[in-house]
Amino acid sequence: METVLKVENLSKIFPKVVANDNVSFDLKKGEIVAILGENGAGKSTLMNCLYGIYHPTKGDIYIKGEKVKLTKIEDAEALGIGMVHQHFMLVEDLTVAENIILGRKTGITPYLDLKKVEKAVKELSDRYNFGLNPKSKIKDLSVGTRQRVEILKMLYRNADILILDEATAVLTPQETVELFKTLKHFVDEGKSILMITHKLEEVMELADRVVVLIDGKMAGSVNRVDTNPRQLANMMVGRDVLMDFDIKPVVHDNLILQVKNLTVKNNHGLEKIKNLSFEIKQGEILGVAGVDGNGQAELAEALTGLMKIDKGEIVIGEKVFTHLKPKMIYEQGMSHIPQDRHERGLVLDMTVNENLALEGISHVPFSYNGIIDFKYIKSHGKAMIKDYNIKCYDGSCPTKELSGGNQQKVIVAREIDRKPNIIIAVQPTRGLDIGATEFVRNKLLEEKERGAAVLLISTELEEILMVSNRIAVIHEGEFMGVIDNKNVDILELGLMMTGMRGDKDEK
Amino acid sequence: MLNAIILFILSGLVMGTPLLIMSMGGVITERSGTLNLGLEGTMLTGAFFSYYFAITTGSVWLGLLGGIAGGLVIALFHGIAMIYWNTNQVVTAVAINMAALGITNTLMGKFSMTTSAGNNISPGFEPLFKINLGEAIIGVNWFFILALIMIPLTWFVIQKTTIGLAIRAVGEYPTAAATMGIRVRRVRMLCFLYSGAIAALAGAALTIGDVRVFVNNMTAGKGFIAFACIVFGRYTAMGTAFGALVFGISEAFRNYIQIFAWSIPGGYMTSIMIPYIITLLLLIFSKQGNAPKAWAIPYEGDDN
């Protein structure tokens, strides 16, 4: 088999960090190679070197047997390299065809011959069964369709080496299945694929070979058939990883949180949560799965008092707490791990100590009669940093200097250490690597064991399946079904995520 | 009656010529995602230098070129600061406008353009033809023709060319444009220089295209009005042109009030304010929005 891409001893050194250290691998025609690694392992840097965005400090890149120097994106494109970005690089206000022709001419003159482009796009789309309408605006398309536009953009530019960056991060299970089919089709046609991922099951399903990166170095390169998920996880993290959590059944009967006929409107007057009812028992985790943007954010904000409730009731214990201010809800023992840790969870310019003290600041022992006890805040910070293994040089370190995983640990420490009776956790592991993810999931399970009622809202089905006692699927502000987390049919969950009602409604 | 309507629209177009020209340049910059509040200062610079070079060289065409060159220098400083150094776009524009005001005023005094008989008269563009409407005679020069051509031309460039597509893309999502090989800062800078040149040309329309003298701060807020027209026009060429036309007509209306001494409440002072009041009302009651998503946000990425 012909080698289409070869990387030899590539190093990329930034002023402060070595992002890639002596990485070597190759990609053959018609092959899928996965680059597996944790956040910060150097995957993105490596891809950016291959796409002409960064220039390697050392080492060589060979494309189709020839040594090349990629100084800009056009160089990479001219050699047939195309990249599908994790965050879609599509202009929402433009049409599919306009996005695809962007940066190119349609003839000798600057005149934009959109008809010609639309025809070509249509042909290409039909060839791969993408079902795209070249005239639709991106903003009207679903996430899965947008990704097909991203891919088509590369095909239109005749790319035969495709780089996919965390391609399944935003897809539903069905969309993922479709994507994998497409990718296999590409490979059959003789294209080659380099996929960046941190998801082991993806690697096991698709890749021919796996290159594992750890701290910018090669931890190894193995054939898929010679490995298994556990081995890959260990290679990636550098130690044994907890892969399966033990979900203990709910032993208590008392309801901690009851939500009755909740309706929430956003500030455009649209109903984002429609007449939603559910309850969580002491020591139970209710997982809410669903595609992003189906009311998850509104549900969490309504419960925590950050958003106005239109109709319905929230009962904590025995008491009704429907229209309370966030602070009063907090005082009822509800903790919130917010979706956007930068916007809602932390004040990035403040120190770690200050962020840890932020919520309790108006209470003893953080302050007495409005006077802050800095000595206590310091010792409290020190203890928390130790207990929760937050990596920073000191509690006086500005929170923005911490890695994403450690920032999340600051929030988790603050929210959990006060022993809340309800925890609302929204996407608590988004963007975290395996180590930090494992930590956060473990903490949620520990809290549940202690007796907290946990509402876990996540778009990662895998995460929901790992820790929840029951699983609810949200679609357009309604639960499509609530099922026990036993022998769950993933495809059925996927269908519910797209709006089909489950028939196994538990009552 | 029909005659009066034609009179208003025509004289509105003529009065609004500098504004129309300038806003057609400005809309290109705004679409590329840069906030251009410096049109005022650029126009003033163009007005002064076209006047100055027309007097010193005796040629209106060299005057025009000199004016555009002056505007380009201002736009170059302004653009580099905002687009390459990511300075605050509002503060930079305020500085540019104040600098332009100070420089033109100082140079006016230094070059002794003012005599006891008033400011020197420069050569100017003669009207190409005159329209006789009975009550008034309207002179039409080629700035007016240019303004009329620029409206469909600007629309065509934005909507129907690959250049326009690139401009729209860097205004909406510059990072995506960059991954398609478009140099975001270069596109924005070229748009900015273009609108600078056009604003200077509009300034020349005030001096050598109209009254043939330069007066301190003679643009009197036209640069900001042009900006308001763009916002009112929802960042489209056609909408912006409509806004500029409305402003031109209200200016014409003001002039007729003054010329024919129509009596209105508040008299002269009210009549002066009419165009500005109409602009304000239009802005308040029009449907706004549609701003490019990356509008006034500096591009942080690498340009390769």
B50-109 pLDDT tens trace: 999 999 999 999 999 999 999 999 999 999 999 999 999 999 999 999 999 999 999 988
| pLDDT for the residue A243 | 62
* Residue A294 in tokens: 């189906």
Task: Could you list the beta-strand ranges (E) of chain B.
Answer: 114-115, 118-119, 129-132, 137-140
* SS3 annotation, A449-483: HHCCEEEEECCCHHHHHHHCCEEEEEECCEEEEEE
Interval A315-327: pLDDT, tens: 988 888 788 888 8
Reported pTM: 0.76
| 8 Å CB contact of B179 and A71 | no
* Whether the predicted pLDDT of B300 surpasses 70: yes
- Give the whole-angstrom CA distance, residue A263 versus residue A275: 5
* Residue A22 in tokens: 């002596």
The tally of CA atoms less than 13 A away on the side-chain side of residue B273 is: 10
pLDDT-derived band at B304, boundaries 50, 70, 90? very low
* Whether the predicted pLDDT of B9 surpasses 90: no
Q: A442 Cβ partners below 8 Å, 6+ apart?
A: A242, A245
- Give the whole-angstrom CA distance, residue B50 versus residue B69: 9
Q: Assess whether the region A3-237 and the region A255-497 belong to the same CATH fold.
A: yes
Query: Who has greater pLDDT, A320 or A116?
Result: A116
Average pLDDT of the residues of chain A: 88
Interval B178-196: pLDDT, tens: 988 899 999 999 999 999 9
C-beta of residue B73 within 8 angstroms of C-beta of residue B231: no
Residue A37 forms beta bridges with which residues? A213
* CA nearest neighbour of B194 among B44, B63, B71: B71
Of A94, A101, A111, the CB nearest to B160: A111
* Whether the predicted pLDDT of A91 surpasses 80: yes
Nearest-5° Cα angle at A245, A243 to A249: 165
A3-237: CATH topology is Rossmann fold (3.40.50)
Q: How many angstroms separate the CA of residue A13 from the nearest CA in chain B? A: 17
* Per-domain residue ranges of chain A: 3-237, 255-497
| 8 Å CB contact of A98 and B165 | yes
Over residues A263-292, the mean pLDDT reads 91
Residue spans of alpha helices (H) in B136-183: 142-160, 162-172, 174-179
| pLDDT for the residue A93 | 93
ipTM of the prediction greater than 0.95, yes or no: no
pLDDT-derived band at A18, boundaries 50, 70, 90? confident
C-beta of residue A198 within 8 angstroms of C-beta of residue A42: no
- Give the whole-angstrom CA distance, residue B116 versus residue A443: 86
* Residue B94 in tokens: 């305020």
CA closest to A157 among chain B residues: B180
| pLDDT for the residue A241 | 66
| 8 Å CB contact of B173 and A74 | no
DSSP letters for A278-299: EEEETT-EEEEE--TTSSHHHH
- Give the whole-angstrom CA distance, residue A164 versus residue A402: 28
Residue identified by tokens 């208590």 is: A252
Burial of A136 (0-12, 13-18, 19+ CB in 10 A): middle
What are the CA-CA distances from residue A384 to residues A334, A376, A393, A408 (Å)? 20, 12, 13, 13
Over residues A18-37, the mean pLDDT reads 91
Nearest-5° Cα angle at A72, A71 to A73: 140
Percent of chain A with pLDDT over 70: 98
Task: Could you list the beta-strand ranges (E) of B81-227.
Answer: 114-115, 118-119, 129-132, 137-140
C-beta of residue B43 within 8 angstroms of C-beta of residue B71: yes
C-beta of residue A399 within 8 angstroms of C-beta of residue A347: yes
Average pLDDT of the residues of chain B: 88
Interval B20-54: pLDDT, tens: 999 999 999 999 999 999 999 999 999 999 999 99
Interval B235-252: pLDDT, tens: 999 999 999 988 888 888
pLDDT-derived band at A151, boundaries 50, 70, 90? very high
Of A53, A88, A112, the CB nearest to B304: A53
Burial of B77 (0-12, 13-18, 19+ CB in 10 A): middle
Write the DSSP symbol of residue B208: I
Over residues A202-210, the mean pLDDT reads 91
User: Residue A187: phi, psi to the nearest 5?
Assistant: -65, -40
Over residues A49-68, the mean pLDDT reads 91
Over residues A420-444, the mean pLDDT reads 88
User: Which residues of B lie closer than 8 Å to A, measured between beta carbons?
Assistant: 160-166, 168-169, 172-173, 175-182, 293, 302, 304
| 8 Å CB contact of B304 and A105 | no
* Residue A225 in tokens: 């058939």
Looking at domain A255-497, its CATH architecture is 3-Layer(aba) Sandwich (3.40)
| pLDDT for the residue B17 | 92
| pLDDT for the residue B117 | 60
Query: Who has greater pLDDT, B34 or A502?
Result: B34
* Residue B165 in tokens: 């597509």
Q: A178 Cβ partners below 8 Å, 6+ apart?
A: A144
- Give the whole-angstrom CA distance, residue A307 versus residue A265: 9
Pick left, alpha or beta for residue A22 (phi over 0 → left; psi -120 to 50 → alpha; otherwise beta).
Answer: left
* Whether the predicted pLDDT of B133 surpasses 70: no
Of B160, B176, B179, the CB nearest to A73: B179
Burial of A364 (0-12, 13-18, 19+ CB in 10 A): exposed
For chain B, which domains are there?
A: 10-285 (1.10.3470)
* Whether the predicted pLDDT of B136 surpasses 60: yes
Contacts of A49 in chain B (CB under 8 A): none
User: Which residues of A lie closer than 8 Å to B, measured between beta carbons?
Assistant: 52-53, 71-74, 77, 83, 85, 88-94, 98-99, 101-106, 110-112, 153
A89-119 exposure pattern, b = at least 16 Cβ within 10 A, e = fewer:
bbbbbbbbbbbbbbbbebeeeeebebeebbe
| 8 Å CB contact of B168 and A111 | no
CA closest to B302 among chain A residues: A53
Q: How many angstroms separate the CA of residue B180 from the nearest CA in chain A? A: 6
| 8 Å CB contact of B161 and A91 | no
- Alpha-carbon torsion, ordered B188, B193, B197, B198, to 10 deg: 0
| pLDDT for the residue A503 | 59
* Whether the predicted pLDDT of B199 surpasses 90: yes
Of B169, B173, B181, the CB nearest to A77: B181
| pLDDT for the residue B251 | 84
